[in-house]
Amino acid sequence: MASGIFAVLDDIAALMDDVAVASKIATRKTAGILGDDLAVNAEKATGFLASREIPVLWAITKGSFINKLIIVPIALLLNAFFPVIIKYILILGGLYLAYEGAEKIIHYLFHREKKGVEVVKEQEEEGEALENAKIKSAVTTDFILSVEIVILALGTVLDSPLTVQILTVSVVAILATVGVYGIVALIVRMDDLGYSLIKRSNEKGFGNTVGNALVKLLPIVIKALAVIGTIALLLVSGGIFVHNIDYFHHMLPNVPATLKEFGFGLVIGILVVIVVTIFKKIFGSFKGKKA
């Protein structure tokens, strides 16, 4: 009896060891996309009124956990019974990410940037509807990025037993959500930490210096995240196209991979924006005539 229990414990220990090794490898493989995920979601989680930052971030985090709960079992089932469809799911997700990245660039170039007072006034007027729209957009983008993370993680353990696959992908999914949104929470509350340090320290003390630096640094970080997040969207989408469409994979062999992926993401994103804009105008005119 005792020997049986020890045998089971030994099997569990061996399984956990395999999962730990596989998770470490999978995390390394997904490090790039996790960095992009952080940049994109940090940018999406900022720009709210201070009193709404944590509630909004928590709503996005819950949405991210739900995304993982949906994606992980579906990815495992598709990989087992219908693996070819995964490529097309990734490409569809890539189109969405490319659209988001290109749309941000077009909006920045051709629309007047709103000032801080206007942003606050807009948030006060539109309130919950605007907040919900931003949360929905963030959760949708997280879903696409989560698909990429889960599939990349799954790709590192395809030759492992099913139990190791399930546990490894689950561990990576949980680490991705907790890690990314934990760092995002630190970023969005940077100014509050700064104000707290200023209040608790002398005017010329070290705490005061650090606090002022954090307060002044936050707007710079937010602006940087907006740029980095947009670039990340286009790089991820372009990477999806290059790695999953043979025609794009073999094009421009002498161009650096990063530049190539960004270019494909931007060009395809602009094309998707044009198609979506035309569709919206046609649908809008049709809806107007019907009314």
Consecutive H or E run containing 9 = helix 2-29
Tokens representing residue 1 in the block: 């009896």
pLDDT reported for residue 7: 46
Task: Determine the residue type at 184.
Answer: V
pLDDT reported for residue 267: 92
CA 249 centroid distance within chain: 24
Look up residue 196 and give its DSSP letter. Answer: H
pLDDT reported for residue 287: 62
Query: What does the pLDDT look like over 84-114, one tens digit per residue?
Result: 888 888 888 888 888 888 988 888 887 655 5
Closest CA to 47 of 173, 290, 229: 229
Query: What does the pLDDT look like over 241-279, one tens digit per residue?
Result: 888 888 888 888 888 888 998 999 999 999 999 998 888
Evaluate whether 261 touches 33 at the Cβ level (below 8 Å): no
- Binned at pLDDT 50, 70 and 90, residue 10 comes out as very low
Tokens representing residue 290 in the block: 């019907």
d(CA 69, CA 77): 13
Helix ranges restricted to H, 111-256? 116-155, 162-188, 190-200, 206-244, 246-250
pTM (2 d.p.):
0.70
d(CA 30, CA 154): 10
Query: What are the structural domain ranges in the chain?
Result: 2-290
Q: DSSP for 52-82? A: GHHHHHHHHHHHHHHHHHHHHHHHHHHHHH-
pLDDT reported for residue 266: 92
- Binned at pLDDT 50, 70 and 90, residue 208 comes out as confident
Closest CA to 173 of 65, 94, 40, 31: 65
pLDDT reported for residue 50: 64
Task: Report phi then psi at 276, rounded to 5.
Answer: -65, -40
pLDDT reported for residue 257: 86
Query: What does the pLDDT look like over 128-167, one tens digit per residue?
Result: 677 788 788 888 888 877 887 787 777 777 667 777 777 8
Q: At what angle do helices 190-200 and 162-188 cross, to 10 degrees?
A: 50
Closest CA to 233 of 281, 183, 272: 272
Closest CA to 97 of 46, 156, 149, 62: 149
